[in-house]
Amino acid sequence: MEYRELGRTGMKVSALTLGTMTFGEQNTEAEGHAQMDYALERGINVFDTAEIYPIPPKAATQGATEEIVGTWLSSRKARDKVMIATKVAGRSSVIDWLREEPILSRQTPEQMREAIDKSLKRLQTDYVDLYQLHWPDRPMRVFEGLEYKRLPGDAHSLHEILEVLGELVKSGKVRFIGLSNETPWGTMTCLRLAEQHGLPRPVSIQNSFNLVNRAFEVALSEIAYEEQVGLLGYSPLGQGYLTGKYEDGALPQGARKTLFNRLGRYEQGNGPRAISAYVALAKKQGLDPAQMAIAYAVSRPFMTSVILGATTIEQLKTDMDGAALTLSDAVLEEIDQIHLDYPNACP
Domain ranges of the chain: 3-206
DSSP-assigned letters across all residues of 108-132: -HHHHHHHHHHHHHHHTSS-EEEEE
Helix, strand, coil shares, percent, the chain, to 5: 40, 15, 45
3-state secondary structure of 198: coil
Q: How confident is the model at residue 337 (pLDDT cuts 50, 70, 90)?
A: very high
Position with higher pLDDT, 149 vs 288: 288
At 10-67, the pLDDT tens digits run 999 999 999 999 999 999 999 999 999 999 999 999 999 999 999 999 999 999 999 9
Report whether the peptide linkage leading into residue 56 is cis, meaning its omega lies within 30 degrees of zero: yes
CB 123 within 8 A of CB 86: yes
* 53 counts as catalytic: yes
The model's pTM is 0.95
Q: What is the mean pLDDT of residues 291-316?
A: 97
Q: Which one from 3, 38, 53, 127 is the annotated catalytic residue?
A: 53
For every residue of 216-243, which 3-state class applies, written as one string?
Answer: HHCCHHHHHHHHCCEEEEECCCCCCHHH
Give the burial class of 301: count Cβ atoms within 10 A of its Cβ; 0-12 exposed, 13-18 middle, 19 or more buried: exposed
Lowest mean pLDDT among 21-35, 152-166, 183-197: 152-166
Class of domain 3-206: alpha beta
**Most distant pair of Cα atoms in the chain: their distance:** 55
The pLDDT of residue 332 is 98
